[in-house]
């Protein structure tokens, strides 16, 4: 579904992503592991069209997207749930969700998407008129994911959904990611929390200093000595 071939990204004069090639199959749930500053967010922003790659090709559903602006990529069915949630705290939950639907013109499709988001995260429906800024960290993460889902994506990029959340709340988010994947959504998940990421994915990539250094089935990565030392603290 998604293919990166020799993708590099430069921000200013800083070479952040170096020659990244990877593939995400339709229906899969794949992890992108890496520490602070490894380049996870920059790689996701490059895929989503928020930063242009300096070299390489990104193909989504068989067509090149590396030259497209972000909104056209969203229209093709690829959504990014950004790091830090990036909500509008002074707007209601409902308004924040609607912002994610601006590329969808058909009102019936918007209503369907909203219904699906409320089914996945009931708290968003129950408190739709409340301001986003009054929500807890975990609820804000649900809202950020809900907003990304409003564009009805086939591929969802999730940038560090667990960051800053208590373990029990992380479990709830992990359950939601797994149910989305079971419903057929393809998921590419970046995490510093390797434990949770490897638990809910089938395959993973490890990014260090902007380059992929290890890849393999999540069950194998979990027992890889480098991964265990650097990301699992064992």
Ligand X SMILES: Nc1ncnc2c1ncn2[C@@H]1O[C@H](COP(=O)(O)OP(=O)(O)OP(=O)(O)O)[C@@H](O)[C@H]1O
Give contact residues for ligand X (rule: CB under 6 A). 11-12, 14, 16, 34, 36-42, 83, 192
Q: Applying CB under 5 A, does 208 fall inside the site for Mg ion?
A: no
Give the span between the Cα atoms of 194 and 9, in whole angstroms.
24
Options 41, 66, 151, 186; binder of Mg ion; rule CB under 5 A: 41
Our CB check for ligand X shows the closer of 223 and 229 to be 229
List C-alpha distances in Å: 216 to 10, 140, 155, 185, 213: 27, 32, 20, 21, 11
Our CB check for Mg ion shows the closer of 39 and 152 to be 39
**Taking the chain, what is the end-to-end CA distance rounded to the nearest angstrom?**
34
* Residue 181 neighbours by CB under 8 Å, 6+ apart: 27, 28, 29, 187, 200
Residue 55 CB, nearest approach to ligand X (Å): 17
Residue 12 CB, nearest approach to ligand X (Å): 6
Please choose, from the candidates 87, 169, 68, 69, the residue with its C-alpha nearest in 3D space to the C-alpha of residue 134. 87
3-state class (DSSP) for residue 198: helix
Give the span between the Cα atoms of 167 and 173, in whole angstroms.
10
Residues touching Mg ion, count (CB under 5 A): 3
Our CB check for ligand X shows the closer of 18 and 127 to be 18
Burial state string for 122-137 with b = 16 or more CB within 10 A and e = fewer than 16: ebbbebeeebbeebee
Residue 73 CB, nearest approach to Mg ion (Å): 19
Our CB check for ligand X shows the closer of 12 and 62 to be 12
Q: Which range of residues in 13-21, 76-84, 131-139, 215-223 is near Mg ion by CB under 5 A?
A: 76-84
Our CB check for ligand X shows the closer of 37 and 90 to be 37
Give the span between the Cα atoms of 156 and 57, in whole angstroms.
19
Residue 13 CB, nearest approach to ligand X (Å): 9
Residue 125 CB, nearest approach to ligand X (Å): 30
**Where would I find the beta strands (DSSP E) of 101-194?**
155-159, 186-191
Residue 55 touches which of Mg ion, ligand X, none (Cβ within 5-8 Å per kind):
none
Q: Applying CB under 5 A, does 83 fall inside the site for Mg ion?
A: yes
Q: For Cα atoms 56, 58, 60, give the angle at the middle one, nearest 5 degrees.
A: 165
Residue 13 touches which of Mg ion, ligand X, none (Cβ within 5-8 Å per kind):
none
Residue 152 touches which of Mg ion, ligand X, none (Cβ within 5-8 Å per kind):
none
The residue ranges that bind Mg ion (CB under 5 A) are 40-41, 83
């Amino acid at each position: 579904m998604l293919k990166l071939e020799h993708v590099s990204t430069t921000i200013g004069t800083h070479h952040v992503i170096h020659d990244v090639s990877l593939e995400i199959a339709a229906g899969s749930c794949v992890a992108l592991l890496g520490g602070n500053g490894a380049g996870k967010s920059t790689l996701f922003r490059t895929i989503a069209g928020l930063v242009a790659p300096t070299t390489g090709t990104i193909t989504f559903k068989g067509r090149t997207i590396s030259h497209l602006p972000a909104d056209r990529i969203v229209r093709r069915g690829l959504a990014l749930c950004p790091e830090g949630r990036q909500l509008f705290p002074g707007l209601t939950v409902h308004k924040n969700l609607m912002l994610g639907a601006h590329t969808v013109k058909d009102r019936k499709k918007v209503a369907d998407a909203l219904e699906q988001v409320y089914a996945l995260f009931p708290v968003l429906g129950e408190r739709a008129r409340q301001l986003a800024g009054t929500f807890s960290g975990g609820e804000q993460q649900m809202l950020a994911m809900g907003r990304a889902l409003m564009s009805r994506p086939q591929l969802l990029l999730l940038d560090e959904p667990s960051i800053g959340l208590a373990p029990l709340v992380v479990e709830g988010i992990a359950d939601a990611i797994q149910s989305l994947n079971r419903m057929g959504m393809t998921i590419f998940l970046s995490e510093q929390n390797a434990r949770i990421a490897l638990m809910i994915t089938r395959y993973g990539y490890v990014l260090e200093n902007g380059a992929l250094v290890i890849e393999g089935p999540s069950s194998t990565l979990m027992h890889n000595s480098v991964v265990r030392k650097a990301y699992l603290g064992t």
